[in-house]
Amino acid sequence: MLRYPNVLLFSSDETEANSLQRILGKHVILTPVSSRSELASLLETNTYDAVFWSWSLNSGTWSAALRDVRRIKPNIPVVVLSTAPEERAWLRSLRTGTFDLLVAPLEENELTAAFEYASVSHQAQASLGLEPPLMEAYV
């Protein structure tokens, strides 16, 4: 029996979370969270296939929250959804061990393709026993 992938959505914007729920809800079970403590709690108590990350990269809490994710579930793919067109934010995100970064506006096929790629990569790493990429020290 096939199961829908289980994805956490870490977002500070309720409107955006609802929009992503509408788009991705056809393909995944999406659980929105809006705080670092809720994110950590759910990761510790449930199994997820990926984290979609829509938290502002300029927020002071994002790097600490990403460290929490890596501590709790080091192999889980984190896909950052960004509205920031600045290259420094993108590079910082990818250097911290995120799996991918998508920039708005996003189409449904882009979101589903990113999730499918992250999911397949996660499964392959797990089956091969590969370690997650190391995060940069300054995160």
CB-based contacts of 98, cutoff 8 Å, min separation 6: 53, 66, 78, 79, 80
Q: What number of residues does the chain have? A: 139
The pLDDT tens digits of the residues spanning 114-130 come to 777 777 776 777 677 76
Q: What is the pLDDT of residue 41?
A: 96
Q: What is the pLDDT of residue 84?
A: 66
Whether pLDDT at 99 is above 60: yes
CB-based contacts of 76, cutoff 8 Å, min separation 6: 43, 48, 49, 50, 51, 69, 122
The pLDDT tens digits of the residues spanning 49-88 come to 889 887 665 556 677 888 889 899 988 888 888 776 667 7
- Give the predicted TM-score (pTM) of the model: 0.77
Sketch out the chain's domains with CATH numbers: 6-128 (3.40.50.2300)
96 within 8 A of 136, measured Cβ to Cβ: yes
Whether pLDDT at 1 is above 70: no
Per the DSSP assignment, residues forming a β-bridge with 51 are: 8, 78
